[in-house]
A and B are shown apart, each in its own frame.
Chain A
């Protein structure tokens, strides 16, 4: 810890860069949790639907892709945030 403070005193720019990189990583990781769970739900339900009614496979698959796409948007925010926060 003292070493960190020592480095910070010597080169404040480098410390800021390192910390923002850590922050960016955490931000993307956190942003990926929700969509991950959500996409799991979407695909799971779609598989249940397809198994129950195989004749509806086409429409269900299309709707599944749409659901994934909308759920994914939050993870994409995180992706952009990563590059913005990394600086």
Chain B
């Protein structure tokens, strides 16, 4: 019975029609609209929550403060050291920007994470990569590169083997995996939810009692995707912090 079921090509799930500025390089599609919407919500919540700060926090202020402390303690100071509090605004924005984009995946009626389009992870990973390089060069000069590709303590002969691996792993795999990890997780979640929804719809028309299976599975996957959305935002921010932190300490000469 399921033999007649056809799953749409994956491309179709992710490509949307342009709505505004059609034909220009700035055409606005569903992805762009969701990005703008979540940005507006994020800015609204944070600025509203941080107006008129009370000594005894209530409601939104409480959430905003907890969010700030989570990033400040759990990511910035944990990874970059206690003196690196200045990085919290950037890392906090990064974390909540990604989280708010990811969470569209399970908002009923929208159910499409803009982070499952390569554009967003690509931009964010590129930005993290540029910042990582900039911080590294600023604090360590060109030794930032040589330290990575000629790691100290390795026998000279082994550089033939080690150097290409290090070049690839530090300067190519890092931004690549940063972007693709976010993309792959969100895309997989979206495909999974779509599959469950389509299977439920298909079973309802052809064999209604079976529909309960994919329906319940879809609910379970939705719950799981909440976890994935938070975790991926956290890991993206954490890795950015780790990469940047590597270039922050001036190197000692060996």
Quick check: do A and B touch in the complex, using CB within 8 A? yes
| Chain B interface, number of residues (Cβ within 8 angstroms) | 13
Cβ–Cβ contact B79 & A76, under 8 A: no
In the bound assembly, the distance between CA atoms of A76 and B238 in angstroms comes to 18
A62 to B180, CA, bound (A): 20
Given A58-B78, A76-B184, A79-B184: A66 and B177 interface contact (C-beta under 8 Å):
no
Q: List residues 222-240 of chain B with CB under 8 A from any CB of chain A.
A: 234-235, 238-239
The answer on a CB contact under 8 Å between A65 and B238 is yes
Q: Is B173 among interface residues, defined by CB-CB distance under 8 A? A: yes
**Smallest CB gap from B182: residue in A:** A76
- B150-180 interface with A by 8 A CB criterion: 173, 176-177, 180
Residues B79 and A62 in contact, CB atoms below 8 Å apart: yes
Q: Which residues of B contact A79 (CB under 8 A)?
A: 180, 184
Count of residues in A whose CB is under 8 Å from the partner chain: 13
Pick the contact of B177: A58, A65, A69 (CB < 8 A). A69
Is the beta-carbon distance between B238 and A72 smaller than 8 angstroms?
A: no
Interface status of B181 (Cβ within 8 A of chain A): yes
- Chain A residues near B238 (CB-CB < 8 A): 62, 65-66, 69
Q: Is A22 in contact with chain B by the CB < 8 A criterion?
A: no
By the criterion CB–CB under 8 Å, are A66 and B242 in contact?
Answer: yes
- Our pick among A58, A59, A72 for the contact of B181 (Cβ within 8 Å) is A72
Annotate B94-138 by CB proximity to A: 1 below 8 A, 0 otherwise: 000000000000000000000000000000000000000000000
**Which residue, of A65, A66, A69, A70, has the highest number of chain B Cβ atoms within 10 A?**
A69
Instruction: Taking A65-B234, A76-B184 as given, write out 15 further A-B residue pairs in contact, using a Cβ cutoff of 8 Å, ordered by the A residue number.
Output: A59-B78, A62-B78, A68-B235, A69-B177, A69-B181, A69-B235, A69-B238, A69-B239, A72-B181, A73-B176, A73-B181, A76-B176, A76-B177, A76-B180, A79-B180
